[in-house]
Amino acid sequence: MSISVAVAGATGYAGSEILRLLLTHPAYQNGELTLGALCANSNAGQKVGEFHPHLAPLADRTFVETSLETLQGHDVVFMALPHGHSGALAHSLTTVAAASGHDAPLVIDCAADFRLRDAQAWEKWYQCEYQGSWAYGLPELPGHRDAVRAARTVAVPGCFPTGASLALYPAVQAGITDGNLSVVSFSGTSGAGKGAKVANLHAEVSGSAKAYNVAGRHRHTPEILQNMQELTEQELTVSFTPVLAPMTRGILTTAFATTHATLEEVQRLYEEAYRDEPFIQLLPYGQQPQSKSVVGSNNVQIAVDVDTAAHRLVITAVIDNLVKGTAGAAVQCMNLMLGWPETTGLYTVGLAP
């Protein structure tokens, strides 16, 4: 019996990337996984090939309406909807399934709806009703892999928090910083989604870089702080600066904190933390990560260094925002939830040049 998968929000970048990864997933290739409803909103009734010509095997499929009726009956539902749109629909799926005596589908949400554990923080940053929190889908953080395995609902992390959290976690957990964390992340334009925005036009972005939502105004700030604060009793602060960069995919994160640890101590700490992580590549000293090295892959490249004169820990990390930052993380969580090998269908090899 095959696993039936539905994708809500299938016309967007995250939805199309989930579909790309599922089409090459071994379970899809051998018939163990099938693609059910491919859901859209205003584009329901149109062909997949009109929006995603790169998804050739699905070109003749038709998008259907995003509704409780179209999503019911699937074993797994990926939600790639705008923030604030997943909560009520996910709760309805669970309620209807319980009333009918059937198991609710496994639901993997790529939006922010279930990431934050603090209701006040959610309402402050997203200005809509709090829907609760789910297992947080970053298996590389301590305890999260087991939580995802046991869960039936998972919240995929934000792309910026993924890079920042993986850059900082070993240092924060070990207590080698003063707790005042600074993060600067350069992101490609696909991180803003597929909706038309003047600021993302080629003429606006090409040959330029621009910081935005600075000084604690970006809504991924509380998510980064939540992830780090669970690792330590030390009171932390996070200053996060996102930068729009003239590239399509990728996030380059540089994280800073005051430290008196030596480079050798930091390198050893990160080697121990990530030794068994299949998607973390700790680079040798002197080699810096490049965003182009992880394009199309679920890989995270990390480099550590210490500015001894300034007593500053400097961690750099790169991810593909659409893969490890969204769709790859979602498929990684699906694998864990279904009891499949975590790496199934996910690449550690990037596209170059």
Residues annotated catalytic, as ranges: 159
C-alpha closest to that of 139 among 342, 344, 346, 347: 342
Token pair in block for residue 110: 């790529």
Whether residue 345 contacts residue 21, with contact meaning beta carbons closer than 8 Å, is answered with yes
User: How far is 164 from 285, CA to CA, in rounded Å?
Assistant: 20
Coil vs helix vs strand at 29: helix
Residue 288: C-alpha distances to residues 126, 168, 318 (Å): 35, 16, 10
What are the phi and psi torsion angles at 29 (to 5°)?
-65, -35
Q: How far apart are CA 173 and CA 188, in angstroms?
A: 29
Mode of pairing for the β-strands spanning 180-187 and 135-136: unpaired
Q: How far apart are CA 189 and CA 344, in angstroms?
A: 28
- The token pair that represents 166 in the structure block: 């993986």
Kindly report the backbone phi and psi dihedral angles of residue 232, in degrees, each rounded to the nearest multiple of 5, phi listed first.
-155, 155
Closest C-alpha among 37, 32, 29 to residue 5: 37
Q: What is the dihedral of CA 256, 257, 259, 263, to 10 degrees?
A: -20
Strands 76-79 and 153-155 turn out to be unpaired
DSSP string covering 32-85: SEEEEEEEESTTTTSBHHHH-TT-GGGTT-B-EE-SHHHHTT-SEEEE-PPTTS
Output phi, psi for 124, to 5 deg: -65, -45
